Structure 1
Amino acid sequence: MKHNVIAVDLGASSGRIISSTLEDEKLELKEQFRFSNQPINITNSLYWDYLKIFQEIKYGLAIAQRDLEKIQSLSVDTWGVDYGFVGHDGNLLATPHSYRDTRVKKYEDDLHEISTPREMFNETGVQPSLINSNYQLFADMKLHPYLQDEISHIMFMPNLVEYFFSGKVSNEFTIASTSGLLDGKSRELSTETLDQLGLKKEWFGDISKGGKVLGNILPAIATEMHLDPDIQIINGIGHDTGAAVYSLPMKKDEAKNSAFISCGTWSIVGQQTDEPVITSDAYEAGLTNEGCIDGSNRLLKNITGLWIVQELQKEWSFKGEMVEFGEMVKEAEQANHIGSYINPNAACFSEPSDMEERIIEFLKQTNQTLPETRGELLLIVFESLALSYHQTIVELEKATNESIDTIYMFGGGTKNSLLVQLTANFCQTNVVIGPTEASVLGNVLSQYKTLGLIKNEDDRINILNNSFESKCVTPQNLNSINLDERTRDFENILHNYEVE
């Protein structure tokens, strides 16, 4: 029997409706619909166009219904930290802000007077950042005091979208774990943090774990879009990276000696742990703690990733040079190593436009050799990313007292064979290339688990092994280079250039 489910996969630039068909312990994915999901700038504030998101998902579901005939369920995964306010009448009180909105900066010092960044980390296990929900909510309460009387519920983005389709209020653990609102030890809402921010615990409800059926799709939506009224809305894995980690063919006993790298616009380097790691080593390294579907932990660091390369491509296209990513990799492979590096997390690389100029300026400021070709420029970026991964792996090993012998790498960046090989080389570790559609895959697997079609870890891994082939990239012989010297040179660049 075929079991069809829908993953609504929302990213910070696009949204997708992906169907999954499970039959005979093998699943197949199919993209049914894709739409743009850019934040909207109005009067210097950034918002998510939730009405467009809702309408586009409905349209995509109608397309999927015609293709599949029968849909059992859907679930939503998104980026972290953002949320919406629901009033006592069940409607949104305000358009949800994007995490890149600048309103928070005005209130940063006020919040730090109440709780210092180190105190926040000690309480929640989450690295302080202006994009985090706790910072955003503090700013919202300062800007709009009337919300105290008007809010009935606060839901994070995936649960808010599921609310639009089910009418059921929910919040899920993996997405809530990105907020800076959970107690680092109990993994429940932190009463201390909520009190400091002026928030009420009842606004968030219970934080669910492990998957939950919210109910059937609202009858009005089923009628409007000619959908099966029995489609179930599932609160599965709300956070896209949490979903991606669930897609790895890795058993629980392998996790302590394995790391993962989500390689895309952002690079997320991390490791699964039984409990949050809230130590001085973790804090000083910039590591943060987020949740997994089973209630365990992801210890990780966010690194500016292929955003830099994407901006270079866009910049060159404006100049009339259309350089495909495959061509970029070839040019970098043919280039000479010139011993220069950038710090991908430097503030100058977080902003759009003039990326090539920013790289050159960084190299000048750090007294490094300048590239003479486009290939050399790209090789600097790719080597710097791989060395950043290596540095974070070392920090993870120190924080957990566990050695890492395997890296699972997934996401669109795994199509960059040079970056994958550099990662294996610099980390001197086997790199297993996971699915490109890792977040979608974790989303649908969580639905099958909630529906009782996946009963244990063996079932999940059997389905993954039956459905996808894994490729292992091994480190090359590095006798021709001095890896210790490269690592030392890269770390000197990091220490000598302040990340704002």
Structure 2
Amino acid sequence: MEKVNVIAVDLGASSGRVISGQFDGKQIKLKEQYRFSNHPVEINDRLNWDYLKIFQEVKRGLALTMRDLGHLDSLSVDTWGVDYGLLTKEGEVLFAPHCYRDSRTAPYEAEFAERLPAKQLFRMTGNAPDRINTNLQVFADLQRAPFLKRTVDQLLMMPSLIEYFFSGIKQNEFTIASTTGLLDVRTKNWNTKVLNRLEIPAEWFADVVIGGADLGPIRQAISEEIKVSAEMRVISGVGHDTAAALMALPLNEAERKQTAFISCGTWSIVGLQNDQPIISEAAFEMGLTNEGCFDGSNRVLKNITGLWVIQELQKEWAYTGAEISFAKMQDEAAKAYSINSFIDLADVRFAEPGQMEEKIVAFLKETHQTLPKNRGQLIRVVLESLAFSYRQVIEKLEKLTGTTLQKVHMFGGGIQNQLLVQLTADFTQRKVVTGPVEASVLGNVVAQLKVFGKITDPVKLDVLANTVDVQDFNPTEIPGLEQKYAQFMRILAANNTEGK
């Protein structure tokens, strides 16, 4: 068959990339064509995404890719969850989309909870309440600026917003919409009862797309500007990066139901793919949430502050002149002995930027634990806490579903930290399979090929087997492991976040 060239625009909370996926009928070859920084910008105490820069950088990446490959068949966008842009009736962005770390929601959390108590919200949407969720963000926007009801025409989630810039078509893809806390958990469409309770106009929300859609050709002005074919298509594929990553795992149906997944990056997302949302009392008490998959099925999961803590430490040490690579940080932690001290990654302080080393030490003092004597021990405290956090969620998922999760599949950039991967195998006492690093990108490409009809489900596993390199990590016996885990759980209980 003639080679198909599809473009995955993969936007993260620190960088954006334009990556080509070339499919020859048997294998997908990925190539990073362009990378750019993507950091929120703070202006007047507000944290916003520079959407104009993102748009310009993606166009530049497409132009460079066109020069390299000669023809491009389609593009699709995947991003982090919960953030959005607001459009006027003229189709213009009203203001720069806020970043989920923006603090504007804080004054409105109590009123939001009064209107929609946490347990009720969970039953209606399948989403656990969270200060970063779209529902609270939009509610806060309307409380701060009631005029928005008169001026806003559409709300588009970030991947759909970028796809709109290229296609002119307004829609919201299911996997990204499922992160909003505004969908009906049963119908998979916008939940009018929730919208009415929060006084959010239902007409703001475009149709939900499940299973992907061809939005049409790229806008003519853009095709002429960057010299790509006017026939290049814009695809609504799989908008949420974690859902995209799950499309890239070489698992059959039986394996899928017995495998926990861990998306390992700035955030860690630990979960299980299943057919239907789980909205039981037990799921709520466990602090789990439900989000969608490309085909309309479900993933029940827990978001954990992940390698963000390590990234913050690296940045903090660089400011003091002690620059250190992630590889060096891993090496120092591997050489350090465990001091059996742990932090609670559900504590909000560890999700906030700044003074990370100081906050870790303060937490250890508050909980009367041994303090690290060097940088390696400090890093190891974080990694061991993260690995035990994974175990905690996996055990919750097993208890909730009655399923024995025999294996853990880790993917994303964090799997390059092989110490964390081995700790995960050791602390969960399960085999861990890693790969691909570029899971979200590969899943984005696979979704586009499915929309084109180039890949069907029976063929997908063969294609992934030919494309994905995986690595196995077997657990080793750790003396006193259960005592270590009991200590970790005591720290969580003392900090009152065990069930969160």
TM-score computed with the length of structure 1 as normaliser: 0.97
Report the RMSD for the aligned CA atoms in angstroms. Answer: 1.3
1:459 aligns with 2:459: yes
Any conservation in 2 of the 1:346–1:498 contact (CA below 8 Å)?
no
1:485 aligns with 2:483: yes
> What pairs up with 1:14-93 in 2 under 5 angstroms?
14-93=15-94
Whole-angstrom distance in 1 between the partners of 2:356 and 2:147: 42
Quote the offset at 1:190 in angstroms.
Answer: 0.9
Amino acid of the residue matched to residue 274 of structure 1? D
Whole-angstrom distance in 2 between the partners of 1:354 and 1:118: 34
State the match for 2:177 in structure 1.
176
State the match for 2:162 in structure 1.
161
Any conservation in 1 of the 2:241–2:440 contact (CA below 8 Å)?
yes
Quote the offset at 1:273 in angstroms.
Answer: 1.0
What SS does the aligned partner of 1:224 have?
helix
Whole-angstrom distance in 1 between the partners of 2:168 and 2:123: 36
Amino acid of the residue matched to residue 459 of structure 1? V
1:323 aligns with 2:324: yes
State the match for 2:297 in structure 1.
296
State the match for 2:282 in structure 1.
281
Any conservation in 1 of the 2:175–2:292 contact (CA below 8 Å)?
yes
Whole-angstrom distance in 2 between the partners of 1:268 and 1:303: 6
State the match for 1:472 in structure 2.
472
Residues 74-121 of structure 1 deviation map (CA, whole Å, 9 limit, x = unaligned): 000011111112222222222211111122112222222211111111
Any conservation in 2 of the 1:406–1:432 contact (CA below 8 Å)?
yes
Any conservation in 1 of the 2:71–2:228 contact (CA below 8 Å)?
no
Quote the offset at 1:149 in angstroms.
Answer: 2.5
> What pairs up with 1:369-408 in 2 under 5 angstroms?
369-408=370-409
Whole-angstrom distance in 2 between the partners of 1:269 and 1:291: 14
Picking from 489, 493, 496, the partner of 1:495 is 493
Runs (4+) off by over 4 Å: none
Any conservation in 1 of the 2:172–2:207 contact (CA below 8 Å)?
yes
Whole-angstrom distance in 1 between the partners of 2:249 and 2:222: 34
Quote the offset at 1:477 in angstroms.
Answer: 2.5
Quote the offset at 1:204 in angstroms.
Answer: 1.3
Quote the offset at 1:323 in angstroms.
Answer: 2.1
Whole-angstrom distance in 1 between the partners of 2:326 and 2:147: 49
Whole-angstrom distance in 2 between the partners of 1:325 and 1:58: 31
Quote the offset at 1:329 in angstroms.
Answer: 1.8
| Unmatched segments (≥5 aa) in structure 1 | none
Amino acid of the residue matched to residue 459 of structure 2? D
Amino acid of the residue matched to residue 472 of structure 1? D
Whole-angstrom distance in 2 between the partners of 1:320 and 1:463: 46
Whole-angstrom distance in 1 between the partners of 2:355 and 2:192: 45
Quote the offset at 1:152 in angstroms.
Answer: 2.1
Whole-angstrom distance in 2 between the partners of 1:146 and 1:325: 46
Whole-angstrom distance in 1 between the partners of 2:107 and 2:349: 21
Whole-angstrom distance in 2 between the partners of 1:332 and 1:102: 33
> What pairs up with 1:344-363 in 2 under 5 angstroms?
344-363=345-364
Residues 182-235 of structure 1 deviation map (CA, whole Å, 9 limit, x = unaligned): 112222211110111222333212211111000000001111111111110000
Whole-angstrom distance in 1 between the partners of 2:394 and 2:188: 25
> What pairs up with 1:199-210 in 2 under 5 angstroms?
199-210=200-211
Amino acid of the residue matched to residue 396 of structure 1? L
Shift in CA distance, 316/42, structure 1 to aligned 2, threshold 3 Å = closer
Instruction: Indicate the percent of aligned positions where both proteins have the same amino acid.
Output: 50
Quote the offset at 1:353 in angstroms.
Answer: 2.5
Amino acid of the residue matched to residue 490 of structure 2? N
What SS does the aligned partner of 1:317 have?
helix
Quote the offset at 1:266 in angstroms.
Answer: 0.9
Whole-angstrom distance in 1 between the partners of 2:357 and 2:136: 32
Amino acid of the residue matched to residue 82 of structure 1? D
Quote the offset at 1:484 in angstroms.
Answer: 1.5
What SS does the aligned partner of 2:31 have?
strand
State the match for 2:95 in structure 1.
94
What SS does the aligned partner of 1:300 have?
strand
Any conservation in 2 of the 1:281–1:398 contact (CA below 8 Å)?
no
Whole-angstrom distance in 2 between the partners of 1:156 and 1:329: 35
Quote the offset at 1:18 in angstroms.
Answer: 0.5
Shift in CA distance, 153/353, structure 1 to aligned 2, threshold 3 Å = closer
Whole-angstrom distance in 2 between the partners of 1:14 and 1:169: 25
Residues 24-69 of structure 1 deviation map (CA, whole Å, 9 limit, x = unaligned): 4111111111111111111111111111111111111111111111
Any conservation in 2 of the 1:217–1:233 contact (CA below 8 Å)?
yes
Quote the offset at 1:317 in angstroms.
Answer: 2.0
